Structure 1
Amino acid sequence: MIKNENQYQYSQEWVTKFQKSIAAMDSDEAAIQKDYTRYSQNRSALQCHIDKLEAEIAEYETLINCTKNEPIKIKVESFCKLPDALIKARIAAKISIEELATMLGIESARVVEYERTDYQCASFVEILEVITVLGIEFENATVRVDFEEIEHVKKVIEEWDKKDKKKVSATI
């Protein structure tokens, strides 16, 4: 996800670099004939990077060019993706990090840290404050409890505990 103008410019530069690399590869007939599989794989990898970057660029351009005439809808596919939605909402609202910090009554360095760490350093209360300040409202929010996932997590934790106990007993 592109979070600021610097990342936007950087992403555009990489698209250009990857496109130039593909053009150079496409023009090297000898290399293509010598090892078509390698050429094809390398070209596909570069194209995959271009496609991903172009999608991120398009998303960022949509955010920076949206108008305030009507609310923007940002899909949050899981609670883990909420930080992305907070950053996108700030960008779409054309609120700078400094402005958000002022609205929250905190230092701008704190907001920089929020966004740099995808809000991992923010408390739940701080996240709620950001949600409020940015005017974020949830529509049709549904929580699905996956009982199979819960059981899987329990088993993984049990395995970790067994490994930790073995390590402890091996060092004694």
Structure 2
Amino acid sequence: MIKDGLEYRVSQEWVIKFKQSIAAMDNSFESKINDYERWQLNRSALQCHLDKLIQEIAEYEKLINCDISQPIKIKVNSLNELPFALIKARIAAKISLDELASRLGIDIERVDEYEKTNYQCASFAEILEVSTVLGVEFESGMVRVDFEEIENVKQTILNWDRKGVNVTATT
């Protein structure tokens, strides 16, 4: 996910580099003939990175160019995606990190840390504060509890315990 103007510009530069690399590969008939499978794998990898960057650039451009006179909808499929929704909301609202910090009454370094870590360093109360300041509201209150997933996690933890793996639960 592109989070700021610098990442946007760097991503645009990488798009050019990937396109140039793909074009050079396409023109390298010797590589295609000598080891087509390797050539195809490398080309596919470059194309995959290029496609992902183009998608991220399009998403960022959509956010920075959105009409702030109308609310936007940001799809969140799980709580794990909430941090990205907060970052997207800030970008779409055209609120800088400094402005968000000011509205929250905290240091900009703390807000910068939130976004650099995708809010992993933020408490639940801090996430709620940020969502309030950004006007983020849920439209649907449906939560699905997957009992099979609970059992799978339980079994994984038991297996780790048997192997002596020290794991701290994170979400």
TM-score tier (shorter) = over 0.9
After TM superposition, where is structure 1 displaced by more than 4 Å over at least 4 residues in a row? none
State how 1:105-120 maps to structure 2 within 5 Å: 105-120=105-120
Partner residue, 1:38: 38
Q: Distance in 1 between matches of 2:45 and 2:9?
A: 21
The residue that corresponds to 1:59 in the other structure is: 59
Counterpart amino acid of 2:112? V
Q: 1:92 to 1:162 in 2, by over 3 A?
A: same
Aligned to 1:18: 18
- 1:153 maps to 153
Larger Rg: 1
Match of 2:71?
71
Instruction: Output the amino acid matched with 1:43.
Output: R
- Amino acid aligned to 2:2: I
SS at match of 1:68: coil
- 1:90-144 residue CA offsets vs partner (Å, 9 max, x unmatched): 0000000000000000000000000001101111100000000000110113110
Query: What is the letter of the counterpart of residue 141 of structure 1?
Result: G
Q: Tell me which residue corresponds to 1:135.
A: 135
Q: Secondary structure at the match of 1:135?
A: coil
- What is the CA–CA distance in structure 2 between the aligned matches of 1:10 and 1:88, rounded to whole Å? 18
| 103-112 or 26-35, which deviates more | 26-35
In the other structure, the counterpart of 2:169 is none
Aligned residue for 1:170? Answer: none
The Cα of 1:160 is off from its aligned counterpart by 2.4
Q: 1:141 to 1:34 in 2, by over 3 A?
A: same
In 2, Cα distance between equivalents of 1:26 and 1:75: 37
Query: What percent identity do the matched residue pairs reach?
Result: 65
SS at match of 2:164: helix
Q: What is the RMSD computed on CA atoms of the aligned residues?
A: 1.2
Please state if 1:6 is matched with 2:10.
no
- Structure 1 CA distance for aligned equivalents of residues 31 and 161 of structure 2: 53
After TM superposition, the score normalised by the length of structure 1 is: 0.92
Structure 2 length-normalised TM: 0.93
List aligned pairs for 1:155-170, cutoff 5 A. Answer: 155-164=155-164
Q: Which amino acid aligns with 1:57?
A: I
1:152: Cα distance to partner? 1.3
SS in 2 for 1:119: coil
Gap regions ≥5 residues in structure 2: 166-171
More helix by share: 1
Change in CA separation of 1:164 and 1:42 when aligned onto 2, cut-off 3 Å:
closer
